[in-house]
Amino acid sequence: MDKIIIDGKSNLIGSIDIPGSKNAALPILVSSLLSKKNLKIHNIPEVQDIKSMIQLLKSFGVSVIKKENEVILNAKNLKNNIADYDLVRKMRASILVLGPLLARFKKATISLPGGCAIGTRPIDIHLDSLSQLGVKFKIENGFVKGVVEKELVGSKIILPFPSVGATENLIMTACLSKGTTIIKNSAKEPEIIDLAKSLIAMGAKISGSGTNTIIIKGVQNLKEANHKIMFDRITAGTFIIAAVMTKSKFKIQNVNSKYLKSLIQVLSKMKAKLKIQKNSIIVVPTSKINGININTAPYPGFPTDLQAQMMALMCLAKGNSKISEKIFENRFLHVAELNRLGANIKVVKDTALIEGNVRFRGAQVMASDLRASVSLVLAALCAEGKTVINRVYHLDRGYEKIEKTLGNCGPTITRKK
Ligand code: UD1
């Protein structure tokens, strides 16, 4: 298994162009299943989760032509509606194929999904809400089996929690359902807006994305379309936090600060200096960063996907901090590893208590989930000595060749097989 070695006491120099969003690209790739016409997607990030999703789509018979950051998908000749354990276990987002396969085949069988080891991550909201469009489900031998008894018919659905994935699954399925679907308490994440934009380009009739009520009027067929994936706001946030931690003057390019508001507000309260420009953010070094107390929350709140990175920054702040994790249970796997690097963090229920003024020291650590892994990279950049991060495959799921992208910005970071 690959490991990466990072030299500490590093600075970031220059700028980085933020790639397309993994979490927007995944459902948009899946949406190709809804149409018999070509879907051309630009700005696809080069990360493992995207490769896994393309492999899954190919297993259903989707033709995929990929050239650098562009991909053309065509689902005219689908041959299979069963998603196997081996493909699904790697990534929870595989559950997104459930609704679109049901829309095309009227039945689908999906292995229960895997993904990061962060809590139980059930799929009840996906199943309950798709049931309200006319699907009957049963769970057998680790598989979810869905059958559309008559036809998919639009309905008014109130989500018990604004689940990102369930909102995406429902929007896609509702596009090919008869009549109107109204999703109440829908997720408002920018990636949902991006999915809706792409579906609208395909001829879908969707309004209200980005709000808590989304209305979809079903259509019979979708048409050929082109879409450019939005920037990855989590990768952007990760590099902003990295620059603040390493006290670097650094420019984060190809971003829209509108979608980074909660992070910018928190960092400003901590006294970080950021210059917000039209398509970029410049981090300006400051000598002291203050501690702060925050909660993660659905968008527009502070993203759970930046919680681990923010925790690494809090270790360096003046004074103590607290983070309460309100989205996922058990999303503190990085705490023990940050403590190995010299942090002093305690977890009480859903809250991490973080002592400030820490000096990180290089050590051997283990990557446990995607965002946890990158928090170790950030701590390692500031540590005295070398840090070895084992099990890098978690990092590869969401960050484009981290040793190259980060290495190009100054730090010495190498990968060993
Ligand atoms: C998406 C993101 C992930 C991010 C998360 C929250 C993708 C590919 N992944 O994940 O990076 O951390 O949003 O912003 O876009 N839940 C249930 N039942 C369900 C569905 C969800 O109980 O049927 C719970 C989950 O266990 C979790 C919470 O709801 O505690 C949020 O999950 P959800 O919003 O669905 O996240 P994902 O779509 O899996």
Per-residue pLDDT tens over the stretch 155-206: 999 999 999 999 999 999 999 999 999 999 999 999 999 999 999 999 999 9
Q: Binning pLDDT at 50, 70 and 90, where does residue 121 land? A: low
**For residue 22, which atom of ligand 1 is closest to its CA?**
8
Question: Is residue 160 within 6 Å of ligand 1 at its C-beta?
Answer: no
**For residue 121, which atom of ligand 1 is closest to its CA?**
26
> Measured in angstroms, how far is the CA atom of residue 26 from the centroid of ligand 1?
13
Q: Give the closest residue (by CA) to ligand 1 atom 33.
A: 163
Q: Give the closest residue (by CA) to ligand 1 atom 8.
A: 23
Specify the pTM: 0.97
Residue 34 clears pLDDT 70, i.e. is over it: yes
Q: Which residues are catalytic?
A: 116
Question: Is residue 394 within 6 Å of ligand 1 at its C-beta?
Answer: no
Could you tell which of 161, 309, 324 is best to mutate to test the pocket of ligand 1, judged by most ligand atoms within 8 Å of the CB?
161
Residue linked to tokens 């298994």? 1
Question: Is residue 304 within 6 Å of ligand 1 at its C-beta?
Answer: yes
Residue 118 clears pLDDT 70, i.e. is over it: no
**How confident is the model over 126-153, as pLDDT tens digits?**
999 999 999 999 988 889 999 999 999 9
> Measured in angstroms, how far is the CA atom of residue 165 from the centroid of ligand 1?
6
Cβ neighbours of residue 171 closer than 8 Å, sequence gap 6 or more: 183, 192, 195, 196, 199, 206, 209, 214, 216
**How confident is the model over 203-239, as pLDDT tens digits?**
999 999 999 999 999 999 999 999 999 999 999 999 9
Residue 280 clears pLDDT 80, i.e. is over it: yes
Average pLDDT across the chain, whole number = 95
Classify burial at 70, counting beta carbons within 10 Å of its beta carbon; exposed 0-12, middle 13-18, buried 19 or more. middle
Residue linked to tokens 């270790």? 315
**How confident is the model over 292-340, as pLDDT tens digits?**
999 999 999 999 999 999 999 999 999 999 999 999 988 999 999 999 9
Q: Contact, 154 vs 216, CB < 8 A? A: yes
pLDDT above 70: percentage of residues in the chain? 98
Q: Give the closest residue (by CA) to ligand 1 atom 34.
A: 163
